[in-house]
Amino acid sequence: WEQKGGGFDREGKLKTDGIIPIRADYGGVWEYNLQEVLLEGKGNQVVPHEKPTWGPNWDEDEGAGQFPNNHYFYLPRICNHCSNPACLAACPRKAIYKRPEDGLVVIDQERCRGYQYCVKACPYGKVYFNLQTGKSEKCIGCYPRVEKGVPPACVAQCVGRIRFVGYRDDKDGPIYKLVEQWKVALPLHAEYGTQPNVFYVPPMNVTPPPFEEDGRLSDKSRIPIADIEALFGPGVKPALETLGREMQKRRKAKPSELTELLIGYTNTDRYRL
């Protein structure tokens, strides 16, 4: 997805080099031998008819390197509900708008004609074309829930309690504290020029260090800092230093507001709408 193009150039002009993915790029829908196994008794293993080569969320699995120094982490991605959305700028139908009350970016299905300029323009690959309806679709930020003060479903149902939601200018909320106060939550590919509003706490090297060629443990990071900076920019090192420093406080039984916030003991720690 990082090679699909789109976004804005350094002068703030909308790029026109975006690629419209084909169905295979999305991963499609896998068909299984359910009829044979469950109804005809012709086997005991449910498998896809064809070996999958790609899936809709496979690009959330970030990994690289060679064993035994390989590394891996998840990068869950949704629509960034950008402050300067390229999809909105690209739509000739004015079918995309940013809600003034909460900043969520939404596609008006009545106005959309399926031209897919928005698909080409989004550098994150998070606008999709519905082949059945002939219209573009995307995450709506669960705005019907947000209007009632209820967090989006992906936040509320996250079993790892790793998703936070709130307004960036709410100084008592988790987003302001993580992004503005502690500066440990960073935007993904800010250089795309869309001013994304989804922020990530970069992965820490809590896994064993890599091995040197002679088999000794190295003092280097298993996940190369350059790889993380390529995603989240120059704020990575200061963010990781802050996270490491606050974790050391907890190891010494000292209080840390940041680690308490990141643990997210209660819903009120993670949601503020």
Task: With 0.85 as the threshold, say if the pTM is over it.
Answer: yes
Specify whether the CB–CB gap between 247 and 141 falls below 8 A.
no
Enumerate the domain spans of the chain. 1-27+79-140, 147-273
- Give the dihedral sign, CA 254/255/260/265: positive
Neighbours of 190 (CB within 10 A): 14
Q: What is the pLDDT of residues 89-125, one digit of tens each?
A: 999 999 999 999 999 999 999 999 999 999 999 999 9
Round to whole Å and give the CA distance between 148 and 171: 21
Q: What is the pLDDT of residues 150-171, one digit of tens each?
A: 999 999 999 999 999 999 999 9
Is the predicted pLDDT of residue 27 greater than 80, yes or no? no
pLDDT band at residue 44 using 50, 70 and 90 as cut-offs: confident
For 1-27+79-140, CATH number out of 3.40.1390.10, 3.30.70.20, 3.40.630.30, 3.40.50.150 equals: 3.30.70.20
